[in-house]
């Protein structure tokens, strides 16, 4: 059923009050294909929506919003060491994480409590606490927007990078991801090296953690640091952490000895939140928006913000980081 003139406020975690010209909810691949081939809808621009936790809507969406509600979680294949788990793109990511932990399948526990749906996870190769989707990714199924044809992508074809994939670059807007298959471990290799996890496990008095313990530690840390979008509208980290040549990092370090830097291949990853904080933005309120007091990288909606206000704040932050450090921040959030 096609809905008309729909408010998208409940469907974006910034809570921005914009409208969609048309919206359709799809819970089967065949329905999605019917929508894509419908002659009456052919002329409409398409906008794929998952959980709306990585978008900034700066205007009404003059398009057909396709709300992905493709469900189902299945184990496709198992060996002594691994299980292939396929999830529909409309499954809530954290529900998939909890489902796998319940079945003792390891690999995504560090990615607990990331908002949004499974189908959007490959878009930016979601990552947190030292783990990225690509570490457990097996393949995905996607429907071509123009033809409705189904295509399987393996990891190479997704061209995953740091908060990047082929779907954000070369194939932007060309496919709707319909399911994702992960290769999870039956014999867990825990990744607790990310400082805050060890600290939280120590605080909980856990010396030999299970995957459930690691997940709980991540959940505790996230709940203590990040604003809950249900309470304060936000889209998580607004910017990516910039990766710079080592020579640039050394130059910055000579002027700012405390600047954090982490090895990223042959280069160095800086912490965007630190750069923004140094420029005086952390906790600053600008009209109806601002940079969050506990995490400068998160821009928030104090209630009545427009997408444009948040966009303008992001421009001002990018300019001041560039002026102060000579580093160009890039937005992680998808701007419409
Ligand atoms: P949406 O916002 O609905 O869509 C994002 C983009 O993907 C849009 O361009 C949309 O058109 C496209 N898209 C969505 N679904 C599909 C599909 N099925 N096929 C094709 N295109 C599609 N991200 C991290 O990586 N790590 C984190 O730790 C993290 N923490 C966060 C914490 C908070 C509090 C919040 C609000 C966000 C956080 N995020 C994080 C960002 C966000 O949760 C992820 O990027 C998530 O994967 C977005 O999913 P979504 O379903 O909400 O996508
Ligand atoms: P944090 O622990 O305060 O660290 C700040 C930044 O330094 C992080 O962005 C992280 O980069 C980097 N960092 C810290 N320790 C590192 C290590 N041992 N090795 C490599 N890099 C390290 O970060 P936080 O803001 O509380 O977030 C914790 C995790 O959740 C991070 O992985 C972050 O990406 C993720 N997160 C993502 C979003 C989002 O919307 N994308 C929102 C909230 C949290 P990385 O970001 O590359 O890990």
Q: Is 12 in the pocket of ligand 1 (CB under 6 A)?
A: no
Q: Is 226 in the pocket of ligand 2 (CB under 6 A)?
A: yes
Residue-wise pLDDT tens digits, 251-302:
999 999 999 999 999 999 999 999 999 999 999 999 999 999 999 999 999 9
Please, what is the Cα angle at 52 between 310 and 226, to 5 degrees? 65
CA–CA dist 226, 293 (Å, integer): 10
**110, 117, 120: residue to mutate for ligand 1 pocket, most atoms within 8 A of CB:** 120
Asked if 107 and 212 touch (Cβ cutoff 8 Å), the reply is no
Q: Which residues are catalytic?
A: 163, 237, 332
Please give the pLDDT value at position 66.
Answer: 98
Which of 146, 150, 167, 153 has the alpha carbon at shortest distance from 35? 146
| Average pLDDT for 108-123 | 98
pLDDT band at 113 (very low <50, low <70, confident <90, very high): very high
92/189: higher pLDDT: 92
**Ligand nearest, relative to CA of residue 297:** 2
Which of 301, 316, 313 has the alpha carbon at shortest distance from 17? 301
Q: Has residue 100 got a pLDDT over 80? A: yes
| Average pLDDT for 209-235 | 97
**Ligand nearest, relative to CA of residue 238:** 2
CA of 128 to the centre of ligand 2 (A): 6
Mean pLDDT of the chain: 97
State percent of the chain over pLDDT 90: 98
**Residues of the chain by 3-state class (helix, strand, coil), percent to 5:** 30, 30, 40
Q: Which amino acid residue places its CA nearest to atom 7 of ligand 1? A: 120
Which of 154, 150, 149, 215 has the alpha carbon at shortest distance from 181? 154
Residue 25's SS3 state is strand
Q: Which amino acid residue places its CA nearest to atom 34 of ligand 2? A: 128
Structure tokens at 329: 């921040």
Q: Is 117 in the pocket of ligand 1 (CB under 6 A)?
A: yes
| Average pLDDT for 209-232 | 97
**Ligand nearest, relative to CA of residue 228:** 1
**115, 128, 221, 263: residue to mutate for ligand 2 pocket, most atoms within 8 A of CB:** 128
Atom of ligand 1 nearest to the CA of 129: 28
Residues 6+ apart with CB under 8 A from 289: 299, 300, 301, 302, 305, 309, 310, 313
| Average pLDDT for 154-168 | 97
Q: Give phi and psi for 325, each to the nearest 5.
A: -115, -10
Q: Which amino acid residue places its CA nearest to atom 45 of ligand 1? A: 54
Q: H or E segment at 100? A: helix 93-102
Q: Has residue 78 got a pLDDT over 80? A: yes
Q: Is 209 in the pocket of ligand 1 (CB under 6 A)?
A: no
pLDDT band at 195 (very low <50, low <70, confident <90, very high): confident
pTM: 0.97
Please give the pLDDT value at position 294.
Answer: 93
Q: Is 226 in the pocket of ligand 1 (CB under 6 A)?
A: yes
Q: Is 176 in the pocket of ligand 1 (CB under 6 A)?
A: yes
CA of 319 to the centre of ligand 1 (A): 25
State percent of the chain over pLDDT 70: 100
């Amino acid at each position: 059923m096609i809905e008309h003139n729909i408010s998208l406020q409940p469907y974006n975690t910034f809570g921005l009050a914009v409208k969609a010209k048309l919206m359709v909810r799809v819970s089967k691949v065949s329905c999605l294909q019917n929508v894509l081939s419908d002659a009456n809808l052919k002329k409409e621009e398409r906008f794929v929506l998952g959980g709306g936790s990585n978008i900034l809507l700066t205007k009404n969406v003059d398009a057909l919003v396709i709300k992905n509600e493709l469900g189902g979680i299945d184990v496709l294949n198992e060996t002594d060491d691994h299980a292939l788990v396929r999830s529909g793109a409309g499954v809530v990511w954290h529900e998939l994480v909890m489902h796998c932990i319940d079945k003792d399948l390891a690999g995504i526990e560090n990615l607990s409590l990331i908002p949004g749906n499974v189908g959007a996870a490959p878009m930016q190769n979601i990552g947190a606490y030292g783990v990225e989707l690509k570490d457990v990714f097996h393949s995905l199924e996607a429907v071509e927007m123009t033809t409705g044809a189904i295509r399987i992508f393996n990891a190479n074809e997704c061209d995953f990078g740091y908060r990047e994939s082929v779907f954000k670059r070369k194939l932007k807007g060309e496919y709707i991801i319909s399911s994702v298959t992960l290769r999870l471990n039956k014999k867990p290799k825990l990744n607790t090296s990310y400082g805050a996890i060890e600290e939280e496990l120590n605080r909980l008095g856990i010396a030999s953690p299970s995957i459930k313990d690691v997940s709980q530690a991540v959940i505790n840390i996230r709940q203590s640091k990040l604003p809950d979008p249900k309470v304060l509208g936000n889209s998580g980290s607004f910017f990516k952490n910039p990766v710079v040549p080592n020579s640039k990092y050394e130059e910055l370090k000579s002027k700012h000895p405390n600047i954090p830097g982490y090895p990223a291949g042959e280069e160095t990853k800086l912490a965007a939140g630190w750069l923004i904080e140094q420029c005086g933005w952390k906790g600053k309120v600008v009209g109806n928006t601002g940079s969050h007091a506990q995490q400068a990288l998160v821009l928030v909606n104090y209630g009545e913000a427009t997408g444009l206000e948040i966009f303008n704040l992001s421009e001002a932050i990018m300019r001041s980081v560039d002026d102060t450090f000579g580093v160009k921040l890039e937005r992680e959030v998808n701007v419409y």
